[in-house]
Chain A
Amino acid sequence: MSARATRSAAPTRGTPGEAAQPVRQAVLERRYRRLLACYPHFFRHDSEEEILAVLMACARTRQRWPSLGEVADLVGSAIRMRLGPGRSSPPRAVTRAVRLMRVGAATEIAGLLIALATASSVQSVLVRQHVTFLAAQWHDLLLFIELGVPVPVGLWLWLAWANGRGHRWARSAFAGVFGTYTLIVLSKFVAGAATYAPADLFVVGIQWLIGLAVVLLLFSRSADTFYRHQSMPPTAAPRG
């Protein structure tokens, strides 16, 4: 076992084939590293050199390319590690935040249905208040709302997934999106939307409250510990 594990010690003199062995190993190592790039950052940071040592120890003497089995194993394991549950269970605050984000995604659908149901009344008020408002403009606006819904729904769900796995960037991204959304809501109020689309603004208000609750939960103390732990390499060991 140990003889095979230490085979990477390169011979300095010998046949041309033996002399080419370090070059072959360097090439193979580079190719293994490319495959290991499929793994999540935390794993590469913590274990890339270690798994590389095992891969090189398991390699055949004249091997230059990772075998199909190795490629399937490494890529499959990387995908499982990326899509599987995180390294530790999230605290209750993060679990609740993730649930609320899913509810937020559902309110986007509800918002679309309400927008469609109240479209005619909103249009008539808009036409009355703004004589220059054309039917074509209204049609474009509705089309934009209908086609645009998958974007916020996807954003809610994607950030819910990423936060559930403890990605710190996802927490910051959600805070950024919430800040932007707050500005949009304020601008709608300034534009007087409350006078002609109260039902739509009600949904917007619910979404804003959900967003606020999510931000408070994601930045709570227990969540902070969770995010910090997820971004750090696990268990440091004494060197020796």
Chain B
Amino acid sequence: MQEATFLILTALASGSQHGYGIIADVREISGGGVQLRPGTLYTALERLRADGLIAVDREAIVDNRLRRYYRLTPAGSDRLAAEATRLRANATTALMRLSPAGGAAT
């Protein structure tokens, strides 16, 4: 799973969000490291919808503009949980090997 996809799913994990909200949330989650552009975001959203990982929650008109809110589907939650577990295991291994005790084992 690409980092942008992971971050988009993470942004939706706490509740439904619209496009601009996802961009802002991804920036916050990544500590400013990932700045999604609208084209990239909507290509990812289109793919995630087609894969059944997210779905449209509701739509609203704000300032005469369409705002569509997306939410995680159960399949999306499972996929995000599996990816987070995998990343955590990798990170734990990396940190363990970087620690003095882990390094001494080599």
Name A residues whose Cβ lies closer than 8 Å to a Cβ of B. Answer: 1, 4-6, 8-9, 43, 47, 49-58, 69-70, 73-78, 80-81, 87-88, 234-240
On whether the beta carbons of A235 and B49 are closer than 8 Å, the reply is yes
B16-67: which have CB < 8 Å to A?
18-21, 23-24, 37-43, 46, 49-50, 55-60, 62-63, 65-67
Partner of B59, one of A5, A6, A74, A238: A238
Which residue of chain A has the shortest Cβ distance to B28 in the bound complex? A1
- Subset of 20 A-B contacts with CB under 8 Å: A1-B21, A1-B24, A4-B20, A5-B20, A6-B63, A8-B63, A55-B38, A69-B37, A70-B38, A74-B38, A76-B39, A77-B40, A77-B42, A87-B50, A88-B50, A234-B50, A235-B55, A237-B56, A239-B59, A239-B60
On whether the beta carbons of A51 and B42 are closer than 8 Å, the reply is yes
Which residue of chain B has the shortest Cβ distance to A237 in the bound complex? B56
Known pairs A50-B42, A73-B40. 9 more at Cβ < 8 A? A9-B63, A51-B38, A53-B19, A53-B20, A54-B41, A73-B38, A75-B39, A77-B43, A234-B50
A237 to B56, CA, bound (A): 6
A-B contacts at CB below 8 angstroms, number: 91
On whether the beta carbons of A80 and B43 are closer than 8 Å, the reply is yes
Which of B23, B50, B55, B69 has most A Cβ within 10 Å? B50
Interface size class of B (residues with CB under 8 A): 20 to 34
Asked if B79 is at the interface of the complex by the 8 Å CB criterion, the answer is: no
Residues of A within 8 A of B50 (CB): 87-88, 234
Partner of A50, one of B40, B43, B49, B66: B66
On whether the beta carbons of A50 and B67 are closer than 8 Å, the reply is yes
A226 to B7, CA, bound (A): 31
On whether the beta carbons of B38 and A58 are closer than 8 Å, the reply is yes
Which residue of chain A has the shortest Cβ distance to B36 in the bound complex? A73
Residues of A within 8 A of B69 (CB): 237
On whether the beta carbons of B42 and A53 are closer than 8 Å, the reply is no
Task: With A1-B21, A235-B55 as known contacts, state yes or no: A54 contacts B38, CB within 8 Å.
Answer: yes
A9 to B50, CA, bound (A): 33
Residues of B within 8 A of A73 (CB): 37-40
On whether the beta carbons of B60 and A53 are closer than 8 Å, the reply is no
Residues of A within 8 A of B55 (CB): 235
Residues of B within 8 A of A81 (CB): 43, 46
